[in-house]
């Protein structure tokens, strides 16, 4: 039997896994292709949660995560770890996603092995070198290395054209996170975490503020300040309850638990472990509003009709801010609490933001990506 062209998806963190899972599923539905999965495990537990949920078993697991890993060392270990397997596999192309160190280093490793690169979620830009750090530059470096650029939105495609990427190499597909979100959200979702289900029952009747915070450029003082802003809001609005699934990073959780840990009674405040994606997605559906510095959450919240306060100074996802569904508050406590105060007191503003609509995709991004790739490989 003729050998099928083999593609290799390489990823390492929670968001990459969530956003590549629909693409891998769509590729596996094509009998004329083979797709392998290699994980760097830049994240360990948070990656494994997603692998379990989407039933993905990697052929290769570099198992690289170290506590408190630093960028140069992580980059070097990814390059070194991928080289032998790329040499042995010689895939037709490597698929990477987003702006993490894994995405950048995997694209570079593929280049060193003269393997083509397809970049999912290409073209997002803040135009600010250190914000988000290091993601803005990681994503630009992947652009230089990539042969196929899958832009989630027209604005992202325009950024790529402006930088000289040939128009024929850019495909606007929507963001695959919307595909993933649709795969896991259900009106009758039963929360897998019993602790979460119990807390939700205790908090019932209150307006639920869902928060995620982890950005590297905010580690330390800025993160503490944002948490103090949240503490003020809990004190001012007794009809609210706040849930914050903590990132696994010890540097992030220490600041959050120190600043926010005792801010309200347990039925009004939950600092929990990272939630399984199905639980988290369905929890977003129950939230009154969302506060985040996450990339993926900025894309998901609008498709669930949830007003969003972005606790960052810049965003590479300006579409929802432009539509009025999100406020780019800044990475400061007073700015975040002021944005929340407005949303919690102004019903008309809340309704406008909740109704802003979703600019990030229709749930068929993976299908479009796979059509482009199969056409490129088979010439039809």
The residue from 135, 179, 293, 319 that is catalytic is 135
Other CB atoms within a 10 A radius of the CB of residue 286 amount to: 16
297 binds, among ligand UD1, ligand UDP, none (CB under 5 to 8 A by kind): ligand UDP
Secondary structure (3-state) at 248: coil
Q: 125, 140, 149, 214: which is the annotated catalytic residue? A: 214
Question: Per rule CB under 6 A, is residue 15 in the interface with ligand UDP?
Answer: yes
Does position 14 interact with ligand UD1 (CB under 6 A)? The reply is yes
User: x/- string (CB under 6 A) for ligand UD1, residues 188-217?
Assistant: --------------------------x-x-
Burial class (CB in 10 A: 0-12, 13-18, 19+), 361: buried
Q: Is 99 a catalytic residue?
A: yes
Residue of closest CB approach to ligand UDP:
294
Question: Is 300 an interacting residue with respect to ligand UDP (CB under 6 A)?
Answer: yes
Q: Is residue 45 part of the contact set for ligand UD1 (CB under 6 A)? A: yes
Write the DSSP assignment of 261-289 as a string of letters: TTSS-GGGEEEEPPPPHHHHHHHHHH-SE
Identify residues 165-184 at the interface with ligand UDP (CB under 6 A): 177
- Pattern 225-264, ligand UDP, x by CB under 6 A: --------------------x-------------------
The pair of structure tokens assigned to 36 is 């392998």
Size of the site for ligand UDP (CB under 6 A): 17
Give SS3 for 37: strand
CB of 294 to ligand UD1, least distance (A): 7
State the nearest-atom distance from the C-beta of 132 to ligand UDP, in Å. Answer: 8
Cα–Cα distance measured from residue 123 to residue 156, given in angstroms and rounded to the nearest whole number: 4
DSSP 133-188: TTHHHHHHHHHHH-SEEEESSHHHHHHHHHTT--GGGEEE---HHHHHHHHH--TT
Rounded to the nearest whole angstrom, what is the least distance from the CB of residue 191 to ligand UD1 in the complex?
A: 21
The least CB distance from residue 219 to ligand UD1, in Å, is 8
Q: Which of 324, 327, 323 is nearest to 310 (CA)?
A: 327
CB of 157 to ligand UDP, least distance (A): 20
Residue 303: which residues within 8 A CB-CB, separation 6 or more? 178, 181, 358, 360, 361
CA angle at residue 178 from 31 to 160, to 5 degrees?
Answer: 85
Work out whether 72 is an interface residue with ligand UD1 (CB under 6 A).
no
**What residues line the site for ligand UD1 (CB under 6 A)?**
13-15, 42-46, 65-69, 71, 99-101, 134-135, 214, 216, 248-250, 295
């Amino acid at each position: 039997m003729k050998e099928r062209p083999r593609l290799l998806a390489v990823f390492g963190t929670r968001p990459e896994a969530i956003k590549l899972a629909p693409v891998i599923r769509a590729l596996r539905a094509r009998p004329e292709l083979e797709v392998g999965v290699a994980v760097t495990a830049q994240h360990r537990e948070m990656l494994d949660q997603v692998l379990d949920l989407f039933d993905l078993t990697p052929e290769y697991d570099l198992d690289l995560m170290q506590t408190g890993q630093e960028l140069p060392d992580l980059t070097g270990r990814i390059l070194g770890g991928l080289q032998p397997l790329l040499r042995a596999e010689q895939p037709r192309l490597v698929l990477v996603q987003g702006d993490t160190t894994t995405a950048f280093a995997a694209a570079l490793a593929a280049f060193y092995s003269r393997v083509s690169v397809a970049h999912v979620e290409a073209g997002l830009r803040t135009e600010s070198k250190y914000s988000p750090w290091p993601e803005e530059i990681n994503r630009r470096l992947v652009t230089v290395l990539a042969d196929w650029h899958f832009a989630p939105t027209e604005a992202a495609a325009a950024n790529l054209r402006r930088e000289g990427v040939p128009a024929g190499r850019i495909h606007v597909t929507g963001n695959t996170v919307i595909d993933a979100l649709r795969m896991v959200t259900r009106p009758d979702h039963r929360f897998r975490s019993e602790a979460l289900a119990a807390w939700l029952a205790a908090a019932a009747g209150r307006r639920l503020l869902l928060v995620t915070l982890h950005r590297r450029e905010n580690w330390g003082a800025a993160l503490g300040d944002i948490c103090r802003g949240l503490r003020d809001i809990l004190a001012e609005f007794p009809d609210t309850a706040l849930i914050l699934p903590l990132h696994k990073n010890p540097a992030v959780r220490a600041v959050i638990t120190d600043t926010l840990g005792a801010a309200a009674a347990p039925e009004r405040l939950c600092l929990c472990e990272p939630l399984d994606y199905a639980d988290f997605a369905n929890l977003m559906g129950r939230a009154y509003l969302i506060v985040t510095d996450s990339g993926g959450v900025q894309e998901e919240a609008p498709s669930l009709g949830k007003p969003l306060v972005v606790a960052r100074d810049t965003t590479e996802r300006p579409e929802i801010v432009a539509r009025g569904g999100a406020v780019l508050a800044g990475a400061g406590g007073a700015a975040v609490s002021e944005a929340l105060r407005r949303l919690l007191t102004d019903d008309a503003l809340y309704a406008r933001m909740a109704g802003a609509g979703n600019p990030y995709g229709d749930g068929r991004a993976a299908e479009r990506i796979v059509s482009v790739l199969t056409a490129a490989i088979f010439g039809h």
